[in-house]
Chain A
Amino acid sequence: MAISPGSGPETTTNDDRPETDSETDDGAETDGRTGAGDETEAEGGAGAEPSADTRAESEGGLESETAPAAETGTRSARADGTLVWPARYVREHLVHSGVLLFLALYPGIYTLLVNSPLRSELLAVLPEIETMVAVFYFGLFAMSFDFISGYTGYLDFGHAVFYGIGAYVVLLVATGKVPLLPAETPFVLVLVLAGLLAVVFAVLIGAVSFRLTGVYFAMITLGFGQVVYVFVRGWDYVGSNPRDGIAVSERSGFEIGVPFVDSLDLAIGQLTGDELSVLAIELSTTEVSYYMVGLVVVICYFAMQRIIHSPFGRVMIAIRENEQRAAAIGYNTFRYKLGAFAISGFFAAIAGGLFAGFRRTATPDNAFFFLVTGDALLAAIIGGFGTLAGPLYGRLFDEGVREFLSKAGEGGGLLPYLREHLSEAVLGTELLGGMTVQGAIETFLNGHASLYIGALFVLFVLFVPDGLLGTIRARLGGPVGKCLPDRAGEYVPERFERYWKGLER
């Protein structure tokens, strides 16, 4: 099959995916593999068919499902068997905890570093806190995209519908345009309602679309997405010029926390958010937004991660690897796909709601357009398709590059740095056709991030097709959270172990 990319009758969903290896490590892959191998053999001497090996290779996910006893992952269970639970818990979540700790400290680190002697260099390189908020909510959207497309193999080119629904529900409620819901309805409640509305849409769209596969699925979801986009763009209920979207001016900041309890709520937004001082640390509105949006995103991530690691998630992966086989074993794949779609729609709407809550405005073009889905696709591929956490890092990479190479003005990025540090002589030097160095940097480093992002994306597709996290997983031989402690664990946890055992006595 070296020549034709798709001459066979098989759909795209059945194609080998590079991330297979890393992913199947999630479950009880040892048992799964052996079982799968036997079965393929037993299936008859049809071993000469090219598809047979794809089948054999692409098992893993399913087998562990048919043998739920093996659910916890044999290898790590065996390795951890000697540890008492707190140590095991710490170990299993070592990487998670590390990342969370870093994220929790980032605003402080940022403030410290940009006040250090290397001030201007670091200002140019480090993403601002405001950028990080965007990384959070859009990263959540990209993760929800990965949840459906990366894990079931169905490319949803209309995913922005759900993001847009989230954003518009929040803004419509806040501008008092939704009957029965006053403008001051608690934000968290509206988020959940928006999520539920997205679930309804996902079920309606999915019920029709999941009868199709491959490019056809991508195209019908694109079609639905554009129908909604064009509708919203002309929907004059939202305002006299629907193309400009909705903006909230009157309502106070959107608060995240326990509804109706003021002391347990913190408002987000750069101008309307709360400030906070804890233990002599002053947090600006942007920093409060960072923590509160981050909190919601982290909760959503763990929820999705739980689902992926549950039997339900393993069926999703099985559908990606070989849907016919999953159906043959007796799963109603249609229901699983629909369920996964609804869940992913829910979280996409939460992401959209956070976006609207922080920015207090959204337009059809930045919430519903198909290129919004395209941005999520970008983040998912760069971060690692089918890795869940990857798209968040992908978005961080994406926004980081965007800020570094194109943001003008207020602090961050390469342009202000060069303006400040290049001498007049250098800046005035003439390059080609009368353009000076200054002219060139003003042209190429100002607002044209898509050029660099696009080029980087092409390079990723060509040379790092598994993305950042996917590649690391392939190197380690499994999810980072599992493998890193396993490797490092050969030395470190022994101490932990003795310590905990000592405590137990």
Chain B
Amino acid sequence: MTLLDVENVHTYYGESHILEGVSLSVAASEVIALIGRNGVGKTTTLRTILQLTPPREGSVTFRGEDLQGLATNEVARRGIGWIPEERRIYSQLSVAENVRIAVPSDRDADAALKNAYETFPDLERFGDRDAGTLSGGQQQMLALARGLAGENDLLLVDEPSEGLAPRIVAAVADALAAAAEETTLLLVEQNLPLALDLADRFYLLDNGQVIDSGDTDEVRAEDERLRRHLSA
């Protein structure tokens, strides 16, 4: 069953045309990788889905409902979570508060926090510290924990491994794999082996358009089919 349907969206920043007719669909409990060079519109695709940067043309449909005209908070409340690029955790809030804020009601927050600490035991020690004092890897863990705490049906994950040490990348990959068991993931990832490993299907973006897609089983990271569009 199709969970998310992006159809022929055109998105602009001011006058710059960023997405030139992107279409993709995500089925429930799938993991989709969105790959492509820097600046081809991957992040913009996620922002378009969330209506942070609404498309001028085309439609985004979530569980059969057209999202056009909805505010971002309304989109989020329909079950779409976002783990943005560069994490964007609240550096002046405590670790625990960073998780709590993602839970709609205070009553469920304790359970969500307990859950998060089970998944990311490292975080528990720092529960009362300002999140800004954490290391980059820990901040990424926190961002994942915050994203998962919302119990969303679809999670948009943007560059989770960017700028992290290899050991931590592995931990992030484990966490994502665990998350994939419970929810649907749309993953933007530069680390191609990681992306292909996690994902069931992929979409390849170039210059604001989808130029290739398919099952991740069909391709390997070294394939000319992908490399052509990925190497700078």
Verify whether A and B have any Cβ pair under 8 Å: yes
Please give the residue numbers on chain A whose beta carbons come within 8 Å of chain B beta carbons, in ascending order. 2-3, 16, 44-50, 52-54, 56-57
Query: In the complex, which residues of chain B have a beta carbon less than 8 angstroms from the beta carbon of A56?
Result: 14-16
Q: In the complex the two chains form, is B41's CB within 8 Å of A48's CB? A: yes
Report the bound CA distance from A29 to B180 in whole Å.
52
Q: In the complex the two chains form, is A45's CB within 8 Å of B37's CB? A: yes
Shortest C-beta distance, A57 to chain B (Å), equals 6
Report the bound CA distance from A44 to B40 in whole Å.
11
Pairs across A and B, CB under 8 Å, 6 listed: A45-B37, A47-B39, A48-B13, A50-B53, A52-B13, A53-B14
Contacting residue for B40 out of A2, A48, A52, CB 8 A: A48
Shortest C-beta distance, B99 to chain A (Å), equals 21
Q: Determine the residue in chain B with the shortest Cβ distance to A51.
A: B13
Contacting residue for B52 out of A2, A46, A49, CB 8 A: A2
Report the bound CA distance from A192 to B44 in whole Å.
56
Does B119 touch A at the CB level, under 8 Å? no
Q: In the complex the two chains form, is A45's CB within 8 Å of B39's CB? A: yes
Question: Contacts A2-B52, A3-B72: A45 and B16 contacting too (C-beta < 8 A)?
Answer: no
Query: In the complex, which residues of chain B have a beta carbon less than 8 angstroms from the beta carbon of A16?
Result: 14
Q: In the complex the two chains form, is B14's CB within 8 Å of A54's CB? A: yes
Per DSSP, chain A at the interface is: helix
Shortest C-beta distance, B171 to chain A (Å), equals 28
Does B38 touch A at the CB level, under 8 Å? yes
Q: Determine the residue in chain A with the shortest Cβ distance to B40.
A: A45
Question: Contacts A2-B52, A3-B72: A46 and B15 contacting too (C-beta < 8 A)?
Answer: no
Report the bound CA distance from A46 to B44 in whole Å.
12
Q: In the complex the two chains form, is B38's CB within 8 Å of A45's CB? A: yes
Q: Which of A3, A45, A48 has the most CB of B within 10 A?
A: A48
Shortest C-beta distance, A39 to chain B (Å), equals 13
Question: Contacts A44-B39, A45-B38, A46-B38: A57 and B14 contacting too (C-beta < 8 A)?
Answer: yes
Q: How many residues of B contact A (CB 8 A)?
A: 16
Query: In the complex, which residues of chain B have a beta carbon less than 8 angstroms from the beta carbon of A3?
Result: 72
Report the bound CA distance from A52 to B17 in whole Å.
11
Report the bound CA distance from A2 to B70 in whole Å.
13
Report the bound CA distance from A47 to B12 in whole Å.
11
Report the bound CA distance from A2 to B43 in whole Å.
17
Q: In the complex the two chains form, is B52's CB within 8 Å of A48's CB? A: no
Report the bound CA distance from A452 to B41 in whole Å.
49
Shortest C-beta distance, A184 to chain B (Å), equals 60
Report the bound CA distance from A45 to B43 in whole Å.
13
Does B18 touch A at the CB level, under 8 Å? yes
Shortest C-beta distance, B206 to chain A (Å), equals 10
Query: In the complex, which residues of chain A have a beta carbon less than 8 angstroms from the beta carbon of B43?
Result: 48
Q: Determine the residue in chain A with the shortest Cβ distance to B72.
A: A3
Q: In the complex the two chains form, is A47's CB within 8 Å of B72's CB? A: no
Shortest C-beta distance, B49 to chain A (Å), equals 15
Q: In the complex the two chains form, is B40's CB within 8 Å of A50's CB? A: no
Query: In the complex, which residues of chain B have a beta carbon less than 8 angstroms from the beta carbon of A44?
Result: 38-39
Q: Determine the residue in chain A with the shortest Cβ distance to B41.
A: A48
Q: Determine the residue in chain A with the shortest Cβ distance to B44.
A: A48
Contacting residue for A48 out of B14, B15, B39, B72, CB 8 A: B39
Query: In the complex, which residues of chain B have a beta carbon less than 8 angstroms from the beta carbon of A46?
Result: 38-39
Q: In the complex the two chains form, is A53's CB within 8 Å of B15's CB? A: yes
Query: In the complex, which residues of chain A have a beta carbon less than 8 angstroms from the beta carbon of B37?
Result: 45
Shortest C-beta distance, A304 to chain B (Å), equals 31
Shortest C-beta distance, A203 to chain B (Å), equals 37
Report the bound CA distance from A46 to B232 in whole Å.
13
Query: In the complex, which residues of chain A have a beta carbon less than 8 angstroms from the beta carbon of B16?
Result: 47, 52-53, 56
Shortest C-beta distance, A117 to chain B (Å), equals 55
Query: In the complex, which residues of chain B have a beta carbon less than 8 angstroms from the beta carbon of A2?
Result: 52
Shortest C-beta distance, A325 to chain B (Å), equals 16
Query: In the complex, which residues of chain A have a beta carbon less than 8 angstroms from the beta carbon of B14?
Result: 16, 53-54, 56-57
